[in-house]
């Protein structure tokens, strides 16, 4: 009887323990699922690409203003930065639509885009005077086209467009980045420390680089969190900031371009469209070139850094947002996750 009672008590204890563990596991899983993007990864990326394409069209429209609206004596520009935080877009759409595809989200993308960006063209005519050779003054019209672009961040629109419950969900998704922080590119999960360049002998190629520029980039090593790079770009809060870091460095060196916040849909096309691209294995890289990485080998650039130089077998880089910090790293020249190089003309 004592043995039977002990066995019964042991059975009850094990059953209760398993039930508790099951509840804990279920609670943990629900917590993760409740903070994750619910759409397929391919749909999240394709929708982001669709929105970025709309932004590229807007940029092209502004770039061609003086051709499409010719005949003015002066063009005056007051332009906010074109760009958005991909996780703000995904968090907004997930809070509003839950699961979505590029097709099901298309109408909302157009509505959101129209609210985020406002392009205004205003004609202004000034009456000016000129003096001819005989000293006579004549009046003439001086025509000015004022071009103004305003960008209202998606986060501020979300508070206006979502109901209170949806907005709380939006804030949770944004804070957790849908538990997929690198899905839109823009970072490296590498938590290892910055590397030491002692003893490295760089091999000089035939293309001129910019060693002074790379000294500026090296001075950023140790930065954590990406401020002021993402702030300089125009974002109100932290984003995946490797591309912002690269763009900031180029700007500090006096280059207005390239300027990009996304690796695959802004950075790579900028170099490729200008014939300034070298695929993985390209050996004639130079200090100051951009290096793009594809971590999951799906053909999409996930991360970007700057080339410090190369020796006989490795390429050395300065990267922002490598484990949320600026670091010096190195890779085998044939490392399979190197997507290619953006080749700078100095």
> Pick from 94, 92, 102: which is nearest to 49 by CA?
102
- Say how far apart CA 58 and CA 70 lie, in whole Å: 18
- Say how far apart CA 110 and CA 107 lie, in whole Å: 5
CATH number of 211-342: 3.90.1720
Write phi, then psi, for 7 (nearest 5 degrees). -65, -40
Look up the pTM and report it.
Answer: 0.68
**CA triplet 147, 52, 161: central angle to 5 degrees?**
80
Q: Is the distance from CB of 217 to CB of 194 less than 8 angstroms?
A: no
Q: Is the distance from CB of 161 to CB of 180 less than 8 angstroms?
A: no
- What single string gives the DSSP state of each residue in 55-99? HHHHHHHHHTHHHHT---SEEEEEEPPP---HHHHHHHHHHHHSS
Write phi, then psi, for 341 (nearest 5 degrees). -125, 135
- Say how far apart CA 2 and CA 78 lie, in whole Å: 88
Dihedral sign for Cα 216, 222, 223, 229, please.
Answer: positive
> Pick from 343, 87, 35: which is nearest to 230 by CA?
87
Helix (H/G/I), strand (E/B), else coil: 204: coil
Task: Enumerate residues 6+ apart whose C-beta is below 8 A from 217.
Answer: 249, 306, 308, 318
pLDDT of the chain along its 346 residues, tens only? Answer: 677 666 666 665 555 454 444 444 444 444 455 789 999 988 998 899 899 889 989 988 999 999 999 999 999 999 988 888 889 999 999 999 999 999 999 999 999 999 999 999 999 999 999 998 888 899 999 999 999 999 999 999 999 999 999 999 999 999 998 998 777 767 888 889 999 999 999 998 999 899 899 999 999 999 999 999 999 998 877 888 999 999 999 999 999 999 998 898 889 999 999 999 999 999 899 999 999 999 989 888 999 999 999 999 999 999 999 999 999 999 999 999 999 999 999 8
Beta strands in the chain (DSSP E): 74-79, 117-131, 137-151, 277-279, 290-293, 303-310, 314-319, 327-332, 338-342
Tokens standing for residue 305:
């850094």
Give pLDDT, residue 45: 85
Q: What is the greatest pairwise CA distance in the chain?
A: 129
- Say how far apart CA 109 and CA 51 lie, in whole Å: 7
Task: Enumerate residues 6+ apart whose C-beta is below 8 A from 254.
Answer: none
Give pLDDT, residue 34: 76
Q: Is the distance from CB of 319 to CB of 249 less than 8 angstroms?
A: no
Domain boundaries, the chain: 41-179, 211-342
Give pLDDT, residue 17: 54
């Amino acid at each position: 009887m004592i043995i039977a009672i002990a066995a019964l008590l042991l059975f009850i204890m094990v059953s209760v323990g398993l039930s508790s563990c099951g509840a804990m596991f279920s609670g943990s899983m629900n917590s993760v699922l409740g903070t994750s993007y619910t759409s397929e990864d391919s749909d999240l990326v394709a929708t982001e690409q669709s929105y970025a394409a709309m932004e590229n069209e807007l940029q092209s429209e502004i770039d061609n203003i003086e051709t499409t609206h010719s005949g003015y004596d002066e063009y005056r520009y007051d332009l906010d930065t074109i760009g958005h935080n991909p996780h703000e877009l995904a968090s907004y759409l997930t809070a509003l639509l839950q699961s979505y595809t590029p097709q099901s989200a298309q109408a909302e993308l157009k509505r959101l885009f129209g609210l985020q960006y406002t392009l205004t063209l205003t004609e202004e005519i000034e009456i000016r005077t000129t003096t001819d050779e005989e000293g006579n003054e004549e009046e003439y019209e001086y025509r000015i086209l004022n071009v103004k672009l305003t960008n209202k961040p998606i986060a501020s629109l979300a508070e206006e467009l979502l109901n209170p419950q949806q907005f709380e969900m939006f804030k949770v998704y944004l804070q957790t980045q849908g538990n997929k922080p690198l899905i839109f590119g823009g970072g490296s999960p590498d938590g290892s420390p910055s590397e030491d360049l002692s003893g490295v002998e760089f091999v000089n190629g035939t293309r001129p680089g910019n060693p002074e520029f790379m000294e500026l980039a090296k001075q950023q090593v140790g930065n954590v969190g990406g401020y002021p790079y993402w702030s300089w770009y125009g974002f109100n809060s932290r984003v995946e900031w490797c591309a912002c870091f690269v763009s900031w460095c180029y700007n500090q060196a006096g280059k207005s371009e390239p300027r990009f916040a996304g690796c695959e849909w802004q950075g790579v096309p900028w170099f490729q469209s200008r014939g300034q691209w070298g695929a993985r294995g390209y050996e004639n890289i130079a200090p100051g070139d951009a290096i793009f990485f594809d971590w999951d080998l799906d053909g999409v650039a996930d991360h970007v850094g700057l080339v410090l130089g190369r020796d006989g077998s490795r390429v050395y880089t300065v990267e922002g947002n490598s484990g949320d910090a600026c670091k010096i790293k190195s890779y085998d020249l044939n490392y399979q996750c190197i997507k290619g190089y953006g080749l700078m003309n100095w």
